Amino acid sequence: MYIKNIPLVFRGSILPKIISMKIGLIGATGPAGKALAARLSSVGYEVTIGSRSKYRALEIRDEIVSAWPEKELKITAAENIDAAKADLIVIATPWDAAATAARSVAEHLHGKIVICMSNAIARVAGEFQPLVPPRGSVAATVQSVIQDSYVAAAMHHVPANELGDLNEDVESDVLVCSDHRNATEKTSELLTKIPGIRPLDAGGLSNATAIEAFSAVILQLNSRYKTRAALRFIGIEEK
């Protein structure tokens, strides 16, 4: 494995084909959800920005759309409960809110794939440190409260700034783990649509502990080397 800086690669502004799968993001008014909403919309997904407040969601939707007028992004805004009616859900809240947020919209999550991108991290005396949630990871905690949904952990290491800059490819491997094969596959399929991202199947949800914790290392590297580091694994052949 090595960690590389993210190169600047210009992307053209050809409008993408609309993909029929609807994505609902819970807690998408923060940097991570906002960036993912913009990126997924830019590659053709119908995206709903969810928030506890529809007005905040509308504000963020308007910010994204006006930042990229040439992309003609199709993004809607809603309260979390309505965003959860989409086909696939992403949880982008702080780590200690993820399970509660998932449970608050659980009535719409039955049988759906739910991607959790939350990292449990604390900054102690200027240093980033991983926290270990009671079930070992945020994703496992979320899975425990929505047991008939298929939780996948992914997107922990991609910085919001790079993800949300639609003029550039993202250039990163993304580790995906889940106890449900269909969740790993569908999450990987979705991520493959984002130019520069290579999703990698990192096994069962127990590995979310290591994946989430490693985010603290990346943040520490970013801070130490004043950069935005991203993951690239060597030795894995392209299929």
Ligand X SMILES: NC(=O)c1ccc[n+]([C@@H]2O[C@H](COP(=O)([O-])OP(=O)(O)OC[C@H]3O[C@@H](n4cnc5c(N)ncnc54)[C@H](OP(=O)(O)O)[C@@H]3O)[C@@H](O)[C@H]2O)c1
List residues near ligand X by CB under 6 A: 27, 29-33, 51-53, 56, 92-95, 97, 100-101, 117-119, 155-156, 158-160
CB of 33 to ligand X, least distance (A): 5
Task: Provide, rounded to whole angstroms, the least separation between the CB of residue 61 and ligand X.
Answer: 12
Residue closest to ligand X, measured at CB: 30
* Closest distance to ligand X from the beta carbon of 163 (Å): 7
Q: List phi, psi (to 5°) of 136.
A: 100, -30
Closest CB to ligand X among residues 75, 155: 155
Dist CA 51 CA 58 (whole Å): 9
Spell out the residues 6+ positions from residue 118 whose beta carbon is closer than 8 angstroms to its own.
Answer: 91, 92, 93, 94, 95, 98, 138, 139, 142, 156, 212
Cβ of residue 101: shortest distance to ligand X, in angstroms?
4
Q: Which of 12, 87, 74, 79 is nearest to 37 (CA)?
A: 74
β-partners of residue 151 are 114
Cβ nearer to ligand X, comparing 27 with 199: 27
- The owner of tokens 């199947």 is 201
User: Which has the closest alpha carbon to 199: 229, 170, 159?
Assistant: 170
Closest C-alpha among 199, 54, 229, 52 to residue 117: 199
Q: Kindly state the smallest distance separating residue 77's Cβ from ligand X, in Å.
A: 10
Residue 6's SS3 state is: coil
Smallest gap, in angstroms, from Cβ of residue 18 to ligand X? 26
Q: Which residue has the tokens 């290392």?
A: 217
